[in-house]
Amino acid sequence: MIEIFLLGSCSGTEPQPGRHHTSWVLHFNNELFWFDAGENCSYTAHLAGLDLRTSRAVFLSHSHLDHVGGLANLFWTIAKVRRLNKDPREFELPVHTAAPAQTEAVFRLLAETEFPCTSPIVPLREGVILSAPIEVEARGNTHLPPTPAGEPRSYSFRITADGKTIVYSGDVRSIQELDGWTDRCDLLLMESGHHQPCEVCRYLTERGAKAGRLVFLHHGRTMLADPEGVVAACREITPFPVDAAFDGMKIEL
């Protein structure tokens, strides 16, 4: 069984009551795979009963702080939990990122503490970037302009595990950038920070998308102002279930 824990559901607005910046973790075969690392992600995961020592990879969609602001504390918290449990096993947590220099700076910060970090930093690229025990495919998008060499600086992800497919938009300029991936998936995690949720639902419905479930996250002001009303309106449009993420939400596939 796949378990998904939504650790932070908010976009980069001013602080919102009960909501933290975007992060979610996939739990499969007793291992954790992190997608973005908004502030307080490790706090929420630990209090949810997740064993942070089973973390196997981090995937950062892009460099904005509402997606990476909790990265240092994630490694710090894992190190503290390992020390508390006297865990002698070797541990490394690869970070897949389009901004390696940013993660290097986080590791330099950790080097000034008693918990220096030596985990690999893996530059993101398009295509399959992890093949086992889950498959993770990255697709560049135009939320951020490309590098001078034309390489993407922001990404979306498609994850396959146990016969299930999850599409995570990251931040995208247009829902159209997910075409092909949204034609059929078991779960679409779609950001609402830069889009009107009802317009997203109309587009998916008109395309004939067959999502098992659509969950909005990275909420913008429309969703934050009236999540129940927005979700109700979206459900009138789509033939598939629609929900709005909240911090601590758990999804089973």
Output the CA–CA distances (angstroms, integers) from residue 7 to 98, 128, 197, 235, in the order listed. 22, 25, 20, 24
How many other CB atoms sit within 10 Å of the CB of residue 104?
A: 13
pLDDT of residue 90: 85
The total domain count for the chain is 1
Q: What is the dihedral of CA 136, 130, 42, 219, to 10 degrees?
A: -20
Per-residue pLDDT of the chain (253 residues; tens, 9 = 90+): 999 999 999 999 999 999 999 999 999 999 999 999 999 999 999 999 999 999 999 999 999 999 999 999 999 999 999 999 999 988 999 999 999 999 999 999 999 999 999 899 999 999 999 999 999 999 999 999 999 999 999 999 999 999 999 999 999 999 999 999 999 999 999 999 999 999 999 999 999 999 999 999 999 999 999 999 999 999 999 999 999 999 999 999 9
Token pair, residue 239, equals: 């033939």
Residue 26's domain is classified under what CATH number? Answer: 3.60.15.10
Return the axis-axis angle of helices 227-235 and 197-207, rounded to nearest 10°.
Answer: 20
Report how far residue 10's alpha carbon sits from residue 246's, in angstroms, rounded to the nearest whole number: 8
Report how far residue 64's alpha carbon sits from residue 62's, in angstroms, rounded to the nearest whole number: 6
How many other CB atoms sit within 10 Å of the CB of residue 216?
A: 28
**Alpha-carbon torsion 242, 246, 252, 253, what sign?**
positive
207: enclosing H helix or E strand: helix 197-207
| Domain coverage including residue 236 | 3-13+20-252
- Which residues are CB-contacts of 125 (< 8 A; sequence separation ≥ 6)? 138
Report how far residue 198's alpha carbon sits from residue 195's, in angstroms, rounded to the nearest whole number: 9
pLDDT of residue 89: 85
Report how far residue 67's alpha carbon sits from residue 21's, in angstroms, rounded to the nearest whole number: 7
**pTM for this model (two decimals):** 0.97
Residues counted in the chain: 253
